[in-house]
Amino acid sequence: MNLSNETVLDVELSPLRRSLLELLKSPASATQLAAALDLPRQRVNYHVRALEQAGLVELVEERQRRGCVERVLRARPGRSVDAGVQDQFAATHLVSVASGLAREVDRMSGAAADAGKRLLTFTVETTVRFGAPGEVHEFTSDLAEAVRQIALKYDTEEGRPYRVVALGHPGVSDER
């Protein structure tokens, strides 16, 4: 099943899915990808299936492994998205994530209020002025690595999961 171009672009924009596409330049199974990324196989398999449904990866072979069928996939040649088109749809992805986040928090806030409890959330917000367009990409990479390191420091199996989302968009000039 192939999805529309907009959906394909949204699928490809996920950082994890971009990493999977990069790794799938060479054929691999979800188990191999999970080991390479140090993530649970089920989580990786979910994203690999989405990439497959979007037509971005293809099945190379199926083989028997420990009583199961292991699927080996690779990124489909010629299915990359050029940077100009990707930037056009990045805003669509941002709006999609932000609106989904608002719905989740609204639902959980209502459930907490019904239970007579308070929903513990946090917000980090700032303004950054980039001198050159390329600095946005460097900043994003640095921010992703910093968040990854902090998440590794605090993440525990038995802890309560929190979704952390960092979004960025051009700001409006201050008119003072």
b/e per residue 22-37 (b: at least 16 CB within 10 A): ebbeeebbbbbbbeee
Q: Which residue has the tokens 């960092």?
A: 166
Phi and psi, residue 68, nearest 5°? -120, 165
CA distance linking residue 176 with residue 158, whole number of Å: 49
**How far from chain centre, in Å, is Cα 168?**
15
For residue 85, what pLDDT is reported? 39
For residue 34, what pLDDT is reported? 94
Per-residue pLDDT tens, the chain, 176 aa: give them. Answer: 344 443 444 444 567 888 898 899 999 999 999 999 999 999 999 999 988 888 888 999 999 888 889 999 999 886 554 443 344 456 777 777 888 889 999 999 999 999 999 999 999 999 999 999 888 888 988 998 899 899 999 999 999 999 898 888 888 776 55
Give the N- to C-terminal CA distance of the chain in Å, as an integer.
Answer: 53
For residue 79, what pLDDT is reported? 58
For residue 175, what pLDDT is reported? 57
For residue 80, what pLDDT is reported? 53
For residue 13, what pLDDT is reported? 54
CA distance linking residue 60 with residue 54, whole number of Å: 16
Neighbours of 13 (CB within 10 A): 18
What SS3 class is residue 140?
helix
For residue 19, what pLDDT is reported? 85
For residue 81, what pLDDT is reported? 45
Helices (H), the chain: 5-13, 15-23, 30-37, 41-53, 83-114, 133-154
| Angle separating helix axes 5-13 and 15-23, nearest 10 degrees | 90
Q: Which residue has the tokens 């191999």?
A: 32
